[in-house]
Chains A and B, each alone.
Chain A
Amino acid sequence: MGKMKKRKKWLRSEAAWAWGMMLPGLLVLTVFVFWPLIYSLPLAFTDYSVVGEMKFVGTKNFERAFSDPDFIASLTNSIQYVLVVPVIQMASMAFAVALNQKIRGVKVFRTLYYFPVVTSTVAVSIVWSWLFSSGGLVNQLLLDAHIISEKVNWLSDDSTALWVLMFITTWKGVGYYMVIYLAGLQSIPGELIEAARIDRAGTLQIFFKILVPLLKPQVVMCSLLSVMSAIKVFDEPFVLTKGGPGNSTLTASLYIYQNGFQNFDFGYAAALSLILSVIILFFSLLVNAYNRRK
């Protein structure tokens, strides 16, 4: 009797509601996200090619990874790629604030700034590789402006190639985060900014002293997403440079893909993924700690 009552009470409790509501979502995640993870992790300790037999090899894949100069180079590049995060976040926040005003044509500008997000990477890369080629528009403009004195082979010079890819990533990503910040800005009361204006606060002051702190939940989320996708960057080097010249634009995800899907060496690829995720975890904790301190 008491037991039944207890159960009835639980069914009406918050916990019951919580689990009931989460059930369908968690079910999907379990089958299509957690299960592949659980399945993939042990592969790191095997020699597995999908088409052949699976062999247990202990920590051999990890030993191989740490003495693999290409993998080390790809990790370094992926970590350097994280430098796009502050740039993308600052720019997208600035765009969001600028385009949250009630000015004429603001909707058009928002749509225009969103264009890079919707254009497919393949189409975009055809255009950019053309613009950055030695006879391309970028060189012409910079030569005319006397910023450079001779043509630069942007995508073939190992000192510039990765930076060009980072630029394209930034260009493509800004509109995405701008949308999240725009949505976030809606919960900030307009009176707050008006009040600051009346107090003769400058635009920069309002931006850093009022908006950034109030947007903190969005900043945390976007920085995390941005860090993860920066470290895992794949499309840009895959389409534009295949990792070259040398190893200058080889990123960890590209290298993992080459080992897994091109060489069918899924054991090694799984080990590399695991190492990469430790690095992502480190950066995520860093972002978290940084945001908490602020």
Chain B
Amino acid sequence: MKRNVKKIVLYLILIGISILMVGPFVWLLLSSLLPNTNVYDFPNNVRLENFSISNFTGVFEFIDFGSFILNTVLISGSSVLLNALLASLTAYPLAKLNFKGKNLVFTIIISAMIVPATAAMVVNYLTITKLGLGDTYLGVILPTSVTIINIFNMRQGFLSVPDSIRESGKMDGASEWKIFTALVMPMVKPNLAVVILFQFMASWNDFLWPMIVLNDTGKYPLSAALTMLNGQFAYNFGWVAAGTVLSIIPTLVIFVLTQDMFVDGVSGANKG
């Protein structure tokens, strides 16, 4: 009896917070599904006969959604892979290996996070054009192919791996590389999942840098293409809402997919 009451209270709290967290998004979603009604007349405009997907078809007609999605998948996919790879490789020695200059390297990396580089975008653009990568996807991806936050996050994961794992691997005569890939990596699955999730989100949402690098609008990722909906002539709030809703879906899918990895990742690895 008491346990049930407790459970009900817990659910009420969880649901209450959910409303606060998702409420604004629900309004956005409804606005996108209720064209030709006064969206500020909420909730009076929510009537079954008003629902229509015309805002979504409008967005699809206005911009070539399919090809922009493809561009984005290409950019975000490469960025996630590179970050997962490079952040793991960079963070592992900083957490687990002994070598001269370890603290210095880590301190330099962390201080780079503290000091904001005002003209970073301008300088990086100059670098990219000098490398001949202007107007290319590689130019978009390369500067964020490994970020300090991701290194930081992976290092945190490696730190929580007990030293005994490495020692037992050595005892068995495994090489450093073997220990890293076969023994340690499976134990930091939750952190890897977080890196994948956060990097996907960051690169999916970034629009300024791709627009700086790319000259050909046809190469734009979706986030940059969606800014076209905000022009003064084309402005249609229903379309903006629809575009926002559409652009959120992939990040949510990634969240749902990675969720199992960062919540049950460790126990899963042990079982396997």
A residues lining the B interface (CB < 8 Å): 14-15, 17-19, 21-22, 24-26, 28-29, 31-37, 39-41, 43, 50, 95, 98-100, 103, 107, 109-120, 123-124, 126-128, 130-131, 171, 175-176, 179-180, 182-184, 186-187, 217-218, 221, 225, 228, 232, 253, 256, 260, 266, 269-270, 272-274, 276-277, 280-281, 284
A280 (CB) vs chain B CBs: closest residue: B114
Segment at the interface with A among B45-53, B58-66, B68-76, B147-155:
B147-155
A98 to B12, CA, bound (A): 13
A22 to B264, CA, bound (A): 29
Q: What's the nearest-Cβ distance from chain A to residue B136, in Å?
A: 15
A272 (CB) vs chain B CBs: closest residue: B118
Q: Total A-B residue pairs with C-beta atoms closer than 8 Å?
A: 218
By a CB distance below 8 angstroms, the chain B residues around A232 are: 116
Chain B 239-264 near chain A by CB (<8 Å), digits 1 or 0: 01100100110011001100100111
In the complex, the answer to whether A25 meets B115 with C-beta atoms within 8 Å is: no
Known: A41-B115, A228-B113. 5 other contacts (CB 8 A): A32-B124, A37-B112, A40-B119, A98-B10, A110-B259
Q: When A28-B86, A110-B259, A111-B259 are in contact, do A218 and B21 touch as well, CB less than 8 Å? A: no
Q: What's the nearest-Cβ distance from chain B to residue A65, in Å?
A: 13
Q: Is the interface of A mostly helix, strand, loop or mixed?
A: helix
Question: Could you name 9 residue pairs across A and B whose Cβ atoms are closer than 8 Å?
Answer: A18-B99, A21-B92, A24-B90, A28-B146, A107-B259, A179-B194, A186-B264, A186-B266, A284-B114
A29 to B139, CA, bound (A): 15
In the complex, the answer to whether B100 meets A15 with C-beta atoms within 8 Å is: yes
Q: What's the nearest-Cβ distance from chain B to residue A234, in Å?
A: 10
Q: Is the interface of B mostly helix, strand, loop or mixed?
A: helix
Q: When A109-B18, A112-B21 are in contact, do A29 and B248 touch as well, CB less than 8 Å? A: no
Q: What's the nearest-Cβ distance from chain B to residue A218, in Å?
A: 7
B residues lining the A interface (CB < 8 Å): 7, 10, 14, 17-18, 20-22, 24-25, 27-28, 40, 86-87, 89-90, 92-94, 97-100, 102, 105, 108-109, 111-120, 122-124, 127, 142-146, 148-149, 151-153, 156-157, 159-160, 176-177, 180, 190-191, 193-194, 197-198, 201, 205, 223, 240-241, 244, 247-248, 251-252, 255-256, 259, 262-267
